Structure 1
Amino acid sequence: MMSTQHRGPCSDLQECFSSVQSASHAQANHAIIKGKIVIDHSPGQSGPGKSASVQIFSCTKVDPGTGKGKLSHIAYLKNGKSHKHNGTKTTTYKLKFYVEPDFGNPGAFVIENQHKYKFFLQAATLRAPDKQAIHFDCRSWVYPIKLTKTPRIFFSNKSYLPSETPSTLKDLRKQELISLRGDGIGERKEWERIYDYDYYNDLGDPDIGPEHARPVLGGSESLPYPRRGRTGRPKCRADLSTESRPEKINLDIYVPPDERFSPKKLSEFIGNSIRASLHFLIPEAKSLLEKDPHFRSFDEIRGMFSSNKSRKVEGWLTKKLQKLVPEQLLKQLTRASKGDPMKFPEPQIIANNDLAWMEDEEFGRQMLAGINPTRIRCLEVFPPKGKNGKMSSITLADIEGSLDGLDITQAMNQWRIYILDHHDYLMPFLSRINTSSVCAYASRTLLFLRSDATLKPVAIELSLPSISSDEVNRVFLPAKEGIEAALWQLAKAHVLANDSAYHQLVTHWLHTHAVVEPFVIATRRQLSVMHPVHRLLDPHFKDTMHVNALARSILLNAGGILEKTLFPGKICMELSSELYKEWRFDEQALPKDLIKRRLALEDSDLPTGCQILFQDYPYGLDGLDVWLAIMTWMMILSSADEEIQAWWKEIREVGHGDKRNASWWFEMNSRDNLIQALTILIWTSSALHASVNFGQYAYAGYPPNRPTLCRKFIPDEGTHEFAELLIDSDKYYLKMLPERFAITLSTALVEVLSRHTSDEVYLGQRQSSEWTDDQEVLLKFEEFGEKLKEIEQKIVERNRNARLKNRWGPAKIAYKLMHPDTSNVKNDGGLTGKGIPNSISI
């Protein structure tokens, strides 16, 4: 008998499929159901044509022999019409199915691929005998039957709760879910649709040397972590707790076929990555990185960028790239118009004012409207106090002269003292971090909320561990000129290095990518595609598992890009695990997060449940509008059923198993709790991720604005380095920044991460207007879209309001990271600076 991991959605589906093969299509008493199927395939690979066959299941008439819906006769893909676009070939096939006169309406179909190539099945439409159009949103890869051993099944876009499922489809529904869970053993093959969990045990590679060993994250009290999708690769010889890695960077790391990029998306992703990495591919650029590792002036850094929006790969470069880049990707690289392929696009932070990033107002503004606006909080106790009870070294004398005439008590009572705190979680790690060429502090930054709602930094405390005492602290105060101004700029750079690492490892990676993946897996394993909640969540999971798999392969791994560019280096992911200890699902709700950080007051009379403290907090104000729109859209939900209960139980006990005993998990015992949980999940996957990801190039694309590490400590008076600072503060600052290689690498990374792809689907949109046949749901979804358009207009009006200074700031960057961009029906991709994609898709 075939093992579970190789079985299809129906244990006897192959037999069902074969039982009709010998029947003649020419019988006079047969009715006809017509349809079409749309597939994508790579140029150079032929479409499946007659090598692919399809049968449809009735959802209204039972076959007494199988207990499932009646099956049609077989139809083959033929009469295909094709067109090419952006390196992808799309073919539409017309089909004709012969069925018994009482067949009823189709509810599912099975497709068998006898072709030698896989193809990407976009969608299908069948015309029932009563002329009703029945739609299928498929969007998955279909692999050759010689690999899968069983055909693929797809269900129509009609949703059913478990108790309402037609008897014709009940067994198919159950068997499909069972097959997707697999048996938890063996290495997963590319074509297998198996969803299972594993620890983050694939980041290290001890077989190539002990310096590449990394601890397993997840499954322990000391190193907790969300679960990832299981791949099942063999264990390392040097460490049986670590999963082996591919011998080279592998873009085909296993994820189930439903989670893989479409051909178009994969082509664009690789093309964008290559285009951003030309500095490492072109011999002339590589030579510069190796021979001249340091930037000598800000003008030289500025020279990395071109003001041209697009860059052309010139003829001389095309020849050099032919040996490195596949032909189709090379064609994509040469489509752009004029520009310099050796330069990056110009980041917004320097587009209007080269020096705006140095201003204190811009430094403070980015904590409210930049790419990490979720860390700042209103201070509750002065001086700030750590978890160990130790007080900060910042004194009243340091700051009271900067509070616009208020004393500290008045300022605190008016909720006008804020803190950006990167102290407690970093202190235990600094001794390990500061053993190489990295020089890192743990920082606290105090800011004062002025009457115009701008944030004025008033003090920075930088701390280091000490053998003789708990820690060594230095306090820096704002200054406009002289050596004090130079020291202040250096202190801000160290704060920004802290903030950059926290943003990338925690705000961005952990709080969106990593925490959502267990929800994706649980949804596929426990909620049938026919479940209405699955239909609601599906677009918000698009490409997330594939992106995360690529991240583990390229970014997060031992020696990966984040270890090379961020100051924590080899302990990047350990640091992320430490911050996961603080993570709570309920606090991912924006209102609760704002209340916890004392940036809003609880107010049960308001729909959001909170009142934001001041209007010029762009992330908070725009975010609450989007949050409320999502929550209102979720009001269509009914109470939880048995599939929902199983889903929620698995998330709590397995997917986030290290948090299984936390008291803050919702009990899934009411409609309100289901609405709250799904609102948090959709918010996290869409708006939260967009707000902390797609502005990266605008701000971090210019490394002096957000350095990822510092190579020097701030010198003490009387030292040789202090003398260097006195002679040329700019030169010292540049020597403190990362080397040219790390700067170029981090710039290339944030360019790729900030790009929208042309197949992106935004909040309030779906890839198909027939994603459900429930007219009431479609009406509510249309209302959701209209609400998002109203929010867009609100954002435009807020950005026009000159009194709201944080929406532009000295750098003149309008805050659009919460702009849903619902009008952008056809997006050509790129650095748009706005738009909320439905999912964590990059």
Structure 2
Amino acid sequence: MSSLVEKGKLVKGRVVLIRKRLVEALTSANDLISTGIKLIDNSVEYDITKSVSFKLISRTKSHNPKNVAGKVGKDSYLENKASVLRSLGGTEEEFDIYFEWDDNDMGIPGAFYVTNRMNDEFLLVSVTLEYPTNEHDQNNIHFVCNSWVYNHKCYKTDRIFFANIPYLPGKGTPVALQRYREEELKTLRGNGSGKLEKWDRIYEYEVYNDLGFLDSDGPQEHPVLGGHKYPYPRRTRTGGKLIRNYKNGEEYEEPAKVIYIPRDEHFSHEKAKEFLELGKKSFERVQPLLLSLYLKTTTNEFNGFEEVQRLYEGGLNLPISITGNGTPSVLQFPLPNVIQESNFAWMTDEEFAREMIAGTNPVVIRLLKKEDLISPCKLLCNCFPASTIIKEKLEINMNGVKVDEAMAYERLFILDYSDAFMSYLTKINELPSAKAYATRTFLFLKDDGTLKPLAIELSKPHKCGHRYLGTESIVVLPADRGVESTIWQLAKAHVIVNDTNYHELVSHWLNTHAVIEPFVIATHRNLSVLHPIYKLLFPHFRDTININTLARKSLINAGGIIEETFLPGPYSMEMSSAVYKNWVFTDQALPNDLIKRGMAVKDDSAPHGLSLAIKDYPYAVDGLEIWDAIKLWVQKYVSLYYSEDDAIEQDTELQTWWKEVKEKGHPDLEAAQWPKLQTSEELVETLSTIIWIGSALHAAVNFGQYPYGGYMLNRPTQSRRWIPTRGTGEYDEMRKNPQEAFLKTITPKYQTVIDLSVLELLSTHSSDEVYLGQRDSLNWTADQNAKDLLKTFTEELKQIESEISKRNHNKELKNRTGPVKLPYTVLLPTSKPGITFRGIPNSVSI
């Protein structure tokens, strides 16, 4: 063989693939509990070397002037290596292959067809040709595939793969490859109709009509999200059967056990196995507790803080067996980080405030404005005295500083959930166990850089007889003794319930998972794998469609886990739709977000060009370093391919991509809010924002969920009692037993166990995670300049990681660790597998 290869008559290649080993995809909590993990080995015997063929396609020579498509070579087949054994557990196999290919006649290979004549699919990982050239890799041509290939009869067009050389469309692409490039994009777009099969590779848009509805719904409950009335980002069309809800006249996708996801969007073998194992372990805990409640062998109320603590230390004894062997089981969770040093530091005012800038949801707090001190109360009757936040109440705890002075020096801040919750409180408070307020928390920046809570305003619609008239509010001030201190702790709990729900529904789900999916769809539909911007963005979309599909089926669906355990219940997703109305893409860039919230102002002399209102704001300080590194990497990368702004405007794929993002992916928003994408500056900012959302922003609001929220007392998801008023039985109970009053106000036992099971799952890194600055293949591009830029970006992230660690050891920066002594590590770029409270995956992958 070698002599023929040397003469240029044969081209040797190496094919890496993984043969089918099914991981049964469980996509609901019930499946995880009842079925667990089932690995089904392929029992069909076949000779893969005779059943899979490859044909090279030239990028330099065409058949004739009329048919400019590159010449196609003859079929070639795999040659088995004696040293290669049948794969077990999804491991890679490598095969030799020899292509009959005359350079003089066929030119240089740039793509290939693959034909699978087996019944079962296989994962084609990569193909490498030993083909010396004077460009890129001088010894090889690389094809990074990572795609499942089904029997050829499943496809209307042959499966094609391109070499990893980036080309802009039009004149930038070799003429011989242009038609192949366009046809592949056409295949990925589909036709917008019909049933989608498991082997399809189609990316299309759809409204959120797959969350379902309940038989008990009224005509206004669980509406389809997407459209003028309930605006929402679009999701990936799954092609499921539609059924009509006659109460509201809308069509919904019928629930199905198997939901279409483009095949290459499925989790890897490793991740699927780990996800299912952890999910099975987590949700096994729910079943026995549910059964024990049904049998009335336990109460759904915690009997004091000590019983909560036993969830993590020693475990709670259950009256039945999980394993079925007759031995009573123990319900136990990992110890959350927030209580690893102290069981009660979470209760301090300093920690309550610190978590607003360094906790699970550090993206809402903003600078106080003068208009925030104007009372929103507008009572139309005199049966309830109006309450308002006035300067004198704030000044009680401001150590002699006056409000006007503090505002002039930007030392007053607010955590404001009045708009997000007030319009839904009437509905929420009519739910069986919900008793909620819309909260506003006022804070003062002390000389030592920490925040001090000044007052909490708790508001709700005022009910007069059978009508709701205006708003009634109470103001609670800090207290550290007596019944007033219990009321203050309850007020803080109500704030955190607002914050926890807003975090999960908006900061986390809406602002990362939901808004990024249309970008994933648009990229696959409009940017060829040959496009350099596709190569830049693709890693930041890994597993997003899959995890979002799982969430829509089990977490945010009608009657699902979120509705069962979070405050807004059936109005949860509708609330997120109301917030989405005001979502602006450009505001998602970290500097713009900080400026909009008054947490920073432009300052060319300051680090990152911004002066922070709170110098020790861990999320902002660490985040700005990550943001600047991302933007610099993107800026240098873009400059490799667009030397002039005209090139951006003339890039047909790029412009079609951006038009589709706006008009089909986010069509319910004002068109004027989007950048025009005509200049290099606009392109860099846009791409940086997309990468930021999918990586660092998601990491900041996701991987602290169990470390902080795993201790439900610290971040409850429900409020079940209003603040007791003097002269009532609840007030007397609160005075006699503060812990019982607190526990009866927040999330009860069964809902806590469900929430902890979910938070544990969502806070865990998989072993095959790919982090910011990394690629899952060294040959992700043939452009060595781009590889060198990525290496520089990776080194910059390592330096940032070192600087973050140094700040966490700086005792003068009190907000870095706080009373709970939990360093702010969530924006450290790398991580090991598991719950680590650190690591920035490239994408919204969990």
TM-score by length of 1: 0.89
Report deviation, 1:608: 3.7
Verify: 1:108 aligned to 2:84, yes or no: no
2:653 — aligned with what? 643
Question: Deviations for 1:283-304, whole angstroms, at most 9, x for unmatched residues?
Answer: 4774257632221111111111
Report deviation, 1:521: 0.7
Moved more, 185-194 or 298-307: 298-307
Gaps of 5+ in 1: 1-24, 309-315, 322-339
Q: Which amino acid aligns with 1:374?
A: V
Moved more, 129-138 or 265-274: 129-138
Give the direction of change, closer, same or farther, for the CA distance of 1:730–1:284 in structure 2 (3 Å limit): closer
Question: Deviations for 1:511-536, whole angstroms, at most 9, x for unmatched residues?
Answer: 10111111111111111110000000
Say whether the 8 Å CA contact 2:11–2:130 is kept in structure 1. no
2:834 — aligned with what? 830
Question: Deviations for 1:268-315, whole angstroms, at most 9, x for unmatched residues?
Answer: 21112111112124x47742576322211111111111589xxxxxxx
Among residues 664, 676, 679, which one is paired with 2:673 in the alignment? Answer: 664
Moved more, 29-38 or 298-307: 29-38
Q: Which amino acid aligns with 1:598?
A: G
Give the direction of change, closer, same or farther, for the CA distance of 1:224–1:809 in structure 2 (3 Å limit): same
2:423 — aligned with what? 428
Gaps of 5+ in 2: 22-39, 316-320, 380-385
Residues 5-16 of structure 1 correspond to what in structure 2 (within 5 A)?
A: none
CA distance in structure 2 between the partners assigned to 1:132 and 1:562 by the alignment: 54
Report deviation, 1:341: 7.3
Give the direction of change, closer, same or farther, for the CA distance of 1:592–1:192 in structure 2 (3 Å limit): same
Verify: 1:587 aligned to 2:581, yes or no: no
Report deviation, 1:106: 2.2
CA distance in structure 2 between the partners assigned to 1:581 and 1:414 by the alignment: 33
Q: Which amino acid aligns with 1:287?
A: S
Among residues 354, 357, 360, which one is paired with 1:368 in the alignment? Answer: 357
1:266 — aligned with what? 272
Moved more, 76-85 or 831-840: 76-85
Say whether the 8 Å CA contact 1:41–1:263 is kept in structure 2. no
1:98 — aligned with what? 100
Say whether the 8 Å CA contact 1:41–1:89 is kept in structure 2. no
Verify: 1:159 aligned to 2:162, yes or no: no
Among residues 433, 436, 456, which one is paired with 1:437 in the alignment? Answer: 433
Question: Deviations for 1:32-88, whole angstroms, at most 9, x for unmatched residues?
Answer: 332222325326126872332222212222233853222232223341635767x43
Residues 76-475 of structure 1 correspond to what in structure 2 (within 5 A)?
A: 76-79=77-80, 81-82=84-85, 87-102=89-104, 103-128=106-131, 130=133, 132-162=139-169, 163-205=171-213, 214-220=222-228, 222-239=229-246, 241-247=250-256, 250=257, 252-281=258-287, 283=288, 286-287=291-292, 291=296, 292=298, 293-306=300-313, 342-381=331-370, 383-385=372-374, 393-435=388-430, 436-468=432-464, 469-475=469-475
Say whether the 8 Å CA contact 2:238–2:260 is kept in structure 1. yes
2:663 — aligned with what? 653
2:33 — aligned with what? none
Moved more, 531-540 or 37-46: 37-46
CA distance in structure 2 between the partners assigned to 1:48 and 1:302 by the alignment: 58
Moved more, 68-77 or 425-434: 68-77
1:327 — aligned with what? none
Say whether the 8 Å CA contact 2:205–2:237 is kept in structure 1. yes
Q: Secondary structure at the match of 1:136?
A: strand
CA distance in structure 2 between the partners assigned to 1:392 and 1:111 by the alignment: 72
Give the direction of change, closer, same or farther, for the CA distance of 1:388–1:126 in structure 2 (3 Å limit): farther
CA distance in structure 2 between the partners assigned to 1:284 and 1:428 by the alignment: 35
Moved more, 694-703 or 394-403: 394-403
Report deviation, 1:189: 1.4
CA distance in structure 1 between the partners assigned to 2:810 and 2:779 by the alignment: 39
Q: Secondary structure at the match of 1:771?
A: coil
Among residues 778, 794, 806, which one is paired with 2:787 in the alignment? Answer: 778
Give the direction of change, closer, same or farther, for the CA distance of 1:552–1:49 in structure 2 (3 Å limit): same
Say whether the 8 Å CA contact 1:526–1:647 is kept in structure 2. yes
Say whether the 8 Å CA contact 1:464–1:471 is kept in structure 2. yes
Say whether the 8 Å CA contact 1:259–1:545 is kept in structure 2. yes
Say whether the 8 Å CA contact 2:377–2:472 is kept in structure 1. no
CA distance in structure 2 between the partners assigned to 1:672 and 1:558 by the alignment: 42
CA distance in structure 2 between the partners assigned to 1:784 and 1:752 by the alignment: 30
Say whether the 8 Å CA contact 1:204–1:212 is kept in structure 2. no
Q: Secondary structure at the match of 2:252?
A: coil
Residues 670-709 of structure 1 correspond to what in structure 2 (within 5 A)?
A: 670-709=679-718
CA distance in structure 1 between the partners assigned to 2:751 and 2:174 by the alignment: 58
Verify: 1:738 aligned to 2:740, yes or no: no
Q: Which amino acid aligns with 1:813?
A: L
Percent identical among aligned pairs is: 43
1:759 — aligned with what? 768
Residues 55-66 of structure 1 correspond to what in structure 2 (within 5 A)?
A: 55-64=55-64, 66=67
Residues 15-26 of structure 1 correspond to what in structure 2 (within 5 A)?
A: none
Q: Which amino acid aligns with 1:542?
A: R
Report deviation, 1:174: 0.6
2:628 — aligned with what? 628
Question: Deviations for 1:614-653, whole angstroms, at most 9, x for unmatched residues?
Answer: 3210000000000000000011212422211111111111
Q: Secondary structure at the match of 2:673?
A: coil
Moved more, 631-640 or 702-711: 631-640
CA RMSD of aligned residues (A): 2.5
Q: Secondary structure at the match of 1:70?
A: strand
CA distance in structure 2 between the partners assigned to 1:706 and 1:106 by the alignment: 58
Q: Which amino acid aligns with 1:35?
A: R
